[in-house]
């Protein structure tokens, strides 16, 4: 439910923090021994892996906040949200994997930190690992389940989440349909909304909006995290030393972290991830077996099981430091002679593989703009897209800027599936959501544009991973 810990890492890394600021923040972090006496751990692999958990701690919530945001009831002293974040070795990517709190899990032998009782291995829901054994047992359990060695442990509660959002001046989210949850009090109309800390907490906690329950909530959490990173890294707030200190303090004063996550690690992250943005992040959830159908366990309740094949592929990609977006790429085929291309950039002999898409190209309206100084580029791209089946305007235009490096697709969030189909035909292009743009997608060609890839309509495969990048999830 809370995503503050992720942002605390990514924002501090992207913000150009100084040693003095980091050192002072380091002393404010509550420390936990998350890796005590751990044996037979996985190989470290490449990059850095952070286990981020959100707990339902509410002891610092005011009575007014408790009533307004419906935070009543006794806390369960368990992890309400669990995310595994992989920071690539080159510092250019963050891969965020949401792990359902109700995941079917077998805990290893351990001593209950609350009762002191010795427990033999037994089946529970994943969030119970924290209840019975705190951060240490949570880390041990997830390393065994994923085969991913966890580098650092970070934990936050309700209070730090709300403070961080408020320190940033609120975060903007957009929704194509109404979102209402009587349990949390969330009530959003279709459109764009700027949420303060309390409203943001309602948004990421809500799980009674539709039949998707906890899985739908994880998707909203991912979208909110992308919006929060975008807000922090693009608003200029981090360039103001006083504001930056307020945001950083709000993030870290309520955080619990492992003993090794200190000044040196934060400065190393800062150096490695300078220039980080929402487009640098990607989000997915661990694939579930049986389409997420609940598996009843006596004495435990309804759990969800991970897909044994797809989940292994996912965690192998993290260990190998590969982008999650590559999981849906077709397997390489035997090499063949170079394909010949016509004037419009498309293969003459039809040998180029067609990319699978959900929406038929003829249903996708496209306006092409030339964002470069190359004469005739927009005309050729319009022709190639039309030949591939897209409904182009046939009247390409010049963009206001003429030195754009990357090809960008602007789209209304209500036509997100159409946008993904168009992006498949323009490999390497960046998707940007623009509220109220309407049905016509706008493509501004950058100097990276080379050719249009043929596409074919294909129903979503059960083997595909639902992965989005941060720039696809935010409002523009």
**Does 307 share its domain with 389?**
no
pLDDT band at 341 (very low <50, low <70, confident <90, very high): very low
**Does 309 share its domain with 400?**
no
| Cβ–Cβ < 8 Å for 220, 206 | yes
The set of residues, in sequence order, having a beta carbon less than 8 Å from that of 92 and lying 6+ positions away, is 273, 280
Residue 409 has pLDDT above 60, yes or no: yes
**Does 259 share its domain with 376?**
no
What's the mean pLDDT in 83-98? 87
| Cβ–Cβ < 8 Å for 235, 474 | no
What's the mean pLDDT in 427-450? 90
**What range defines the domain where residue 11 resides?**
4-326
Beta strand pairing call for 110-111 and 118-119: antiparallel
Q: Is 369 helix (H, G, I), strand (E, B) or coil?
A: strand
Residue 403: both structure tokens together: 């030195």
Beta strand pairing call for 397-398 and 365-370: parallel
Beta strand pairing call for 408-411 and 430-433: parallel
The set of residues, in sequence order, having a beta carbon less than 8 Å from that of 350 and lying 6+ positions away, is none
| Cβ–Cβ < 8 Å for 404, 444 | yes
Residue 245: both structure tokens together: 């200190």
Q: Is 256 helix (H, G, I), strand (E, B) or coil?
A: strand
Among 474, 463, 391, which residue's Cα sits nearest to residue 432?
474
Residue 11 has pLDDT above 50, yes or no: no
Kindly list the distances between the CA atom of residue 461 and the CA atoms of 159, 287, 421, in Å, as whole numbers in the listed order.
41, 13, 15
Residue 335 has pLDDT above 50, yes or no: no
Residue 318 lies in a domain: yes
* Mean pLDDT of the chain, nearest integer: 79
Q: Which residue has the higher pLDDT, 183 or 329?
A: 183
**Does 272 share its domain with 373?**
no
Handedness of CA 473, 166, 100, 109 (dihedral sign): positive
The set of residues, in sequence order, having a beta carbon less than 8 Å from that of 291 and lying 6+ positions away, is none
Say how far apart CA 17 and CA 20 lie, in whole Å.
9
Residue 96 lies in a domain: yes
What's the mean pLDDT in 156-167? 77
pLDDT band at 346 (very low <50, low <70, confident <90, very high): very low
Among 427, 322, 327, which residue's Cα sits nearest to residue 93?
322
Q: Packing angle between helix 158-167 and helix 197-205, nearest 10 degrees?
A: 130
Residue 285 has pLDDT above 50, yes or no: yes
**Does 64 share its domain with 209?**
yes
Handedness of CA 97, 101, 103, 107 (dihedral sign): positive
**pLDDT (tens digit per residue) in 15-50:** 444 555 556 656 667 788 888 888 889 998 889 899
Q: Which residue has the higher pLDDT, 8 or 152?
A: 152
**Does 242 share its domain with 302?**
yes
Say how far apart CA 144 and CA 315 lie, in whole Å.
12
| Cβ–Cβ < 8 Å for 51, 150 | yes
What's the mean pLDDT in 116-142? 90
Residue 113 has pLDDT above 60, yes or no: yes
List b or e across 19-38, with b for residues whose CB sees 16 or more CB atoms inside 10 angstroms.
Answer: eebbeebbeebeebebbeee
3-state secondary structure labels for all residues of 390-436: CEECCCCEECCCCCCCCCEEEECHHHHHHHHHHHHHCCCCEEEECCC
Among 115, 24, 26, which residue's Cα sits nearest to residue 77?
115
Percentage of residues in the chain having pLDDT higher than 90: 27
Greatest mean pLDDT among 68-77, 127-136, 175-184, 387-396 = 387-396
**Does 301 share its domain with 373?**
no
pLDDT of residue 349: 42
**Does 95 share its domain with 50?**
yes
pLDDT of residue 338: 44
Among 270, 330, 271, which residue's Cα sits nearest to residue 463?
330
Helix, strand and coil percent figures for the chain, each rounded to 5? 35, 25, 40
Lowest mean pLDDT among 35-49, 128-142, 246-260: 246-260
Residue 187 lies in a domain: yes
What's the mean pLDDT in 330-358? 53
Residue 341 lies in a domain: no
Residue 138: both structure tokens together: 């949570």
Q: What is the pTM of this model?
A: 0.68
CATH classification at residue 171? 3.40.630.190
Q: Is 85 helix (H, G, I), strand (E, B) or coil?
A: strand
Would you tell me how many other CB atoms lie within 10 Å of the CB of residue 196? 14
Domains identified in the chain, total number: 2
pLDDT of residue 94: 85
Say how far apart CA 214 and CA 421 lie, in whole Å.
28
Q: What angle is formed at CA 381 by the lines to CA 378 and CA 384, rounded to 5 degrees?
A: 150
**Does 53 share its domain with 8?**
yes
Say how far apart CA 70 and CA 431 lie, in whole Å.
36
Residue 336 lies in a domain: no
pLDDT of residue 344: 46
Residue 76 has pLDDT above 50, yes or no: yes
What's the mean pLDDT in 116-140? 90
Chain center to CA of 169:
21
What's the mean pLDDT in 442-463? 84
**Does 306 share its domain with 422?**
no
Residue 63 lies in a domain: yes
DSSP secondary structure string, 13-39? Answer: HHTT--HHHHHHHHTTSEEE-TTTT--
pLDDT band at 348 (very low <50, low <70, confident <90, very high): very low
Would you tell me how many other CB atoms lie within 10 Å of the CB of residue 131? 18
**Does 320 share its domain with 407?**
no
pLDDT band at 252 (very low <50, low <70, confident <90, very high): low
Residue 369 has pLDDT above 80, yes or no: yes
Residue 335 lies in a domain: no
Kindly compute the dihedral angle of the four CA atoms of residues 133, 137, 141, 144, in this order, to the nearest 10 degrees: -150
pLDDT band at 378 (very low <50, low <70, confident <90, very high): very high
**Does 312 share its domain with 371?**
no
Residue 24 lies in a domain: yes
């Amino acid at each position: 439910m809370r995503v503050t810990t992720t942002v605390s890492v990514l924002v501090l890394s992207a913000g150009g923090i100084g040693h003095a600021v980091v050192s002072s923040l380091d002393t404010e972090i509550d420390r936990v021994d998350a890796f005590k006496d751990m044996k037979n751990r996985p190989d470290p692999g490449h990059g850095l892996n952070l286990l981020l958990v959100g707990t339902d701690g509410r002891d610092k919530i005011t009575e007014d906040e408790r009533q307004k945001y419906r935070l009543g009831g006794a806390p369960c002293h368990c992890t309400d949200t669990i995310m595994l974040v992989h920071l690539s070795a080159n510092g250019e990517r963050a891969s965020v994997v949401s792990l359902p709190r109700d995941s079917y899990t077998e805990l290893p032998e351990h001593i209950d930190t609350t009762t002191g009782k010795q427990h033999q291995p037994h089946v529970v829901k994943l969030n119970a690992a924290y209840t019975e054994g705190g951060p240490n047992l949570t880390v041990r359990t997830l390393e065994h389940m994923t085969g991913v060695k966890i580098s650092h442990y970070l934990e936050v509660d309700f209070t730090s989440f709300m403070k961080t959002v408020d320190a940033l001046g609120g975060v903007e989210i957009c929704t194509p349909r109404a979102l209402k949850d009587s349990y949390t009090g969330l009530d959003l109309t279709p459109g764009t909304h700027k949420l303060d800390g309390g409203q943001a907490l309602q948004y990421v906690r809500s799980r009674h909006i539709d039949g998707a329950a906890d899985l739908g909530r994880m998707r909203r959490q991912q979208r909110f995290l992308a919006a929060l990173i975008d807000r922090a890294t693009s608003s200029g707030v981090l360039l103001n030393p006083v504001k930056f200190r307020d945001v950083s303090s709000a993030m870290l004063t309520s955080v619990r972290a492992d003993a090794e996550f200190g000044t040196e690690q934060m400065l190393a992250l800062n150096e490695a991830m300078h220039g980080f943005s929402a487009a640098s992040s990607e989000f997915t959830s661990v694939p579930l077996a049986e389409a997420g159908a609940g598996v009843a366990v006596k004495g435990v309740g309804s759990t969800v099981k991970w897909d044994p094949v797809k989940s292994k592929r996912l965690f192998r990609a993290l260990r190998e430091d590969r982008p999650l977006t590559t999981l849906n790429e077709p397997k390489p085929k035997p090499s063949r002679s170079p394909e010949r291309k016509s004037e419009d950039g498309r293969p003459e002999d039809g040998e180029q593989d067609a990319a699978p898409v959900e929406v038929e190209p003829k249903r996708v309206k496209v306006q092409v703009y030339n964002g470069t100084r190359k004469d005739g580029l927009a005309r050729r791209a319009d022709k190639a897209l039309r030949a591939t089946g897209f409904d182009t305007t046939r009247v390409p235009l010049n963009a206001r800027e003429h030195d754009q490096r990357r090809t960008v697709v602007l789209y209304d969030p209500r036509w997100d599936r159409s946008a993904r189909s168009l992006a498949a035909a323009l490999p390497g292009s960046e998707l940007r959501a623009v509220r109220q743009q309407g049905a016509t997608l706008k493509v501004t060609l950058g100097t990276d544009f080379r050719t249009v890839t043929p596409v074919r309509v294909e129903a979503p495969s059960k083997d595909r991973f639902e992965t989005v990048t941060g720039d696809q999830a935010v409002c523009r």
